[in-house]
Amino acid sequence: METGSAHALGDDSDARAASQVLGRRHLVLVGLMGAGKSAIGRRLADTLGRPFADSDTVVEAEAGQTISDIFARDGEAAFRQMEEAVLKRLLGGAPAVIATGGGAFLRPANRARIRQAGLSVWLRAELDVLVGRLRRPATRPLLAGDSTRNALTTLMEKRYPVYAKADVVVVSEDVAHAVTVRRTLAAIAAVTA
């Protein structure tokens, strides 16, 4: 896990309020590939002074291969088991900002663990935004063999109703990362127990 610094926490009332709302809970980002979970997550971790972890990166490091290679060699089911084990371990650690893979939140066991140990934030992006961000689908196994637009439309239809179960929803648009970070902190700060 990468470690953030609290340099911005003292400067921003939303960051302070979000930190209070989170307490010892993890901040867990969910959403489709291309929604900005890793990029926004790193900045949130820095602002909140928490470590950052990307569950896909951890899976790849532990497996010694890319997610595409895991899918090709062992199949999606094997990847999902690895992903669940990594997420369980991350959620058992010190409070962090965790970016999950796009399919992690679909598993009921993962959602239950996230709800118990964290606050989930869905970074919700529209189709055109995602298509614009995912110009290299060869690195995304679930986009292989279909047009990016068609594959994403199918994933959105299946996954968006599940992502809607997240504690907080923040729209991820083509704006500066700092804007999405501020929106996310404000949305978390507005959460009531």
Domains of the chain (ranges plus CATH)? 2-189 (3.40.50.300)
Number of helical H runs and strand E runs in the chain: 9, 6
| pLDDT tens across the length of the chain (193 residues) | 554 444 444 458 899 999 999 999 999 999 999 899 999 999 999 999 999 999 999 999 999 999 989 999 999 899 999 999 999 999 999 999 999 999 999 999 999 999 999 999 999 999 989 888 886 545 555 555 457 788 889 999 999 999 999 999 999 998 899 999 999 999 999 997 5
Q: Check: pTM over 0.75? Answer yes or no.
A: yes
Which residues have C-beta within 8 Å of that of residue 31, sequence separation ≥ 6?
Answer: 37, 102, 122, 123, 124, 125, 163, 172
Angle at 103 (CA atoms; ends 102, 105), nearest 5 degrees: 95
| Whether the Cβ atoms of residue 49 and residue 25 lie closer than 8 Å to each other | no
Closest-CA residue to 101 (of 168, 58, 55): 55
Angle at 145 (CA atoms; ends 141, 151), nearest 5 degrees: 75
d(Cα 85, Cα 91) in Å, to the nearest integer?
A: 10
Angle at 116 (CA atoms; ends 19, 126), nearest 5 degrees: 70
d(Cα 171, Cα 23) in Å, to the nearest integer?
A: 24
| Whether the Cβ atoms of residue 174 and residue 129 lie closer than 8 Å to each other | yes
Q: What are phi and psi of 31, to 5 degrees?
A: 145, 175
d(Cα 57, Cα 33) in Å, to the nearest integer?
A: 13
Q: What is the predicted pLDDT for the residue at 125?
A: 94
Closest-CA residue to 126 (of 147, 156, 165): 156
Q: What is the predicted pLDDT for the residue at 6?
A: 43
> In angstroms, how far is CA 63 from the centroid of its own chain?
20
Q: What is the predicted pLDDT for the residue at 1?
A: 58
Q: What is the predicted pLDDT for the residue at 3?
A: 47
